[in-house]
Amino acid sequence: MAQGPTHFGIVVAVRGAVVDVAFPSGSLPAINTALEIDRPDQGTLVLEVQAQLDGTTVRAIALQSTNGLARGVPVQDMGGPIKVPVGADVLGRLLDVGGVPGDNKAPLPDDIPLRPIHRAPPPLQAQGAVSEVFRTGIKVIDLLAPLAQGGKAAMFGGAGVGKTVLVMELIHAMASEYNGISVFSGVGERSREGHEMLLDMTEAGVLDRTVLIYGQMNEPPGARWRVPMTALAISEYFRDEEHKNVLLLMDNVFRFVQAGAEVSGLLGRLPSRVGYQPTLATEVAQLQERIASVKDAAVTAIEAVYVPADDFTDPAVMAIASHVDSTVVLSRTMAADGMYPAIDPIASSSILLDPQIMGEEHVSVANRVREAIEHYRELQDVISLLGMEELGSEERRMVERARRLQRFLTQPFAVTEGFTGIEGRSVEIKDTIAGCKAILEGETDTWDEASLYMVGSFEEARAKEEAARKGQKAA
């Protein structure tokens, strides 16, 4: 959706998603301007200007399929960026990149407010500081990589280690606790996942406070590239006009970069490092810098990031990581060992893990947990070659406590209940700290490790251990 037309051009070339449009001399539309082609049989085709080739021609990227588009067709210059519907009427709806509903419900009202998808971030002096903690109920995140209200958190992981499950659990965990608006942006994901998300939101009863925006895998790269901008335009309206906190969830930001690389290739730009677009850092910055808090409302972002071939030095991954406050790294090794959520306690971090924000006890316990698990990892080669018997008594005790800590930081999720048959748990941060402290101080040294696996609080683990001992006595 865009504003009223100013003047017309004509299509002079079509190469897949790239369309060249000629305009009268001296009246070229600016970069990022929306163009529209009215096709009676197939609806409106939206284009976005990406380059000015000469004094009369622009090159644009199509946001829908260009099948059947011919040269000589008239094109409207819409005089500004693509505009999408915002406000209360989009809550509970599933929209595409242009704000068109895709949920087979009633069309949006004609008088709905519209906002451009391209906008400058709030000035620095208007932005609020990030210091309030965003509780998730997930032990390992709340302890080692706490999320910030109005901050940006990224879940990094390769294929199949649980990024989408983790984002879904965060949505589920926050649905009951969180009073603001949720905006979910599905970037280049499977249509099945979008359908599941819609069903889950409906069942959880939170769809009326949520907007779903999708640019799916089967859509042109232009649509996948601009879907996060549509989500940001809607989020910014709720933040600035309605003064409401917004939870912005993106799955998957890597697909945004990938779509940008496809667009760059289609436009004929020379690739940069590892084949990525030369504008990679700029595109990521333009997206991330708009996720900000103002004085009375915040946009909090939780982003899933696919790590190609588990290579954390990939330029796209490093560009995204440089903008986030909390980094949650998912480990394939931990997933293979059955440690779910497969969050690496060593590689995950947060700027909030500071005694002035989280308190001395929290930071002290978090650091001790990290040290114990890191020491265990250093000794793993020795253990696998020579066995535990070769370790000294102190080191053996440390290794056993680290193994128990790893098991205690596992947790059953509500969203996986259908697969595991185990009811999901949400754990208070004080219970997580108390449990880790008890393990570090040796309270569980005589326990079976299985008692600490896939439980919520430490008291639940204690009850599990006592039940197991009673069962052994009875046997």
Close Cβ partners of 74 (under 8 Å, ≥ 6 residues apart): 8, 9, 10, 37, 38
**Six-digit token string for 199:** 């069903």
Q: Which of 4, 2, 12 is nearest to 54 (CA)?
A: 12
**Catalytic site residue 236?**
no
**Six-digit token string for 400:** 């056993």
Cα-based distances in Å from 369 to 266, 388, 438: 49, 20, 11
Chain centroid to Cα 133, Å, comes to 18
**Six-digit token string for 47:** 């284009």
Chain centroid to Cα 456, Å, comes to 25
For the chain, how many residues are written? 475
Residue of 59, 93, 163, 401 marked catalytic? 163
**Six-digit token string for 142:** 């709340």
Q: Provide φ and ψ at 275, rounded to 5°.
A: 85, 0
Residue type present at position 292? A
Residue type present at position 276? Y
Residue of 48, 169, 189, 236 marked catalytic? 189
CA distance 328 to 335: 14
First to last CA, the chain: 71
**Catalytic site residue 190?**
yes
Chain centroid to Cα 422, Å, comes to 26
**Catalytic site residue 430?**
no
Decide: residue 281, CB within 10 A, 0-12 exposed, 13-18 middle, 19+ buried: middle
Residue type present at position 241? E
CA distance 232 to 366: 34
Residue of 71, 105, 190, 273 marked catalytic? 190
CB 115 within 8 A of CB 83: yes
- What positions carry a catalytic annotation? 163, 189-190
